[in-house]
Amino acid sequence: MKVAEGLLNPLGEDDDDFEANYIIDRNIATGMAIVDDTHAFHPPIVVDKFADPSYKPSYSAESQARSNSQPLAGSATAVELAPSTEAVKMVHVEPVGKEIEPSSREGSLRRRFSEKLPRIRTSSETSNKKSQHAG
């Protein structure tokens, strides 16, 4: 039974049984090692030895009629860039109006919690003091 439990839950059953940062770091290190060790190695392209030599992919006449013979072109393919030797004149622009804060900071949970925390502490402390004086 212990062997089966170990196979089903190799990291344990509790939250404290494994360290998430260790697992993430190990997986990143493994991925980087794979890329670093094999970035210049390209395996040769060979025909599958189990493939049927007489097999040809079949396409219906309808699918061929609908196929687009022109490749997809991105929206920036027609943009003409200035030559890299051309000098670009940079000008200073004064900001107009007040700086806008990101909305994520305005209503962040941490800020709202920290604003209410002193009130929670003071209300709990006063209720504790009242119960101590009553007892």
Q: Is residue 74 part of a domain?
A: no
Structural domain count, the chain: 2
Looking at residue 132, what is its pLDDT? 59
Looking at residue 107, what is its pLDDT? 56
Q: What average pLDDT score do residues 108-115 get? A: 62
Question: 3-class DSSP state for residue 99?
Answer: coil
Q: In degrees to the nearest 10, what's the CA dihedral of 69, 74, 80, 85?
A: -110
Looking at residue 109, what is its pLDDT? 61
Looking at residue 35, what is its pLDDT? 80
Determine contact, residues 42/48, Cβ cutoff 8 Å: no
Q: Is residue 48 part of a domain?
A: no
Q: Is residue 95 part of a domain?
A: no
**pLDDT at residue 115 is higher than 70:** no
User: In which domain, by residue range, is 132 found?
Assistant: 107-135
- CA separation for the pair 113, 14 (Å, rounded): 28
Looking at residue 124, what is its pLDDT? 53
Q: What is the pLDDT of residues 1-17, one digit of tens each?
A: 778 777 777 666 666 66
**pLDDT at residue 31 is higher than 80:** yes
Q: Is residue 31 part of a domain?
A: yes
Q: Is residue 43 part of a domain?
A: no
Q: Is residue 91 part of a domain?
A: no
Q: Is residue 124 part of a domain?
A: yes
Q: Is residue 92 part of a domain?
A: no
Q: What is the pLDDT of residues 53-108, one digit of tens each?
A: 888 777 777 777 777 677 777 888 888 887 777 777 888 888 777 766 665 555 56
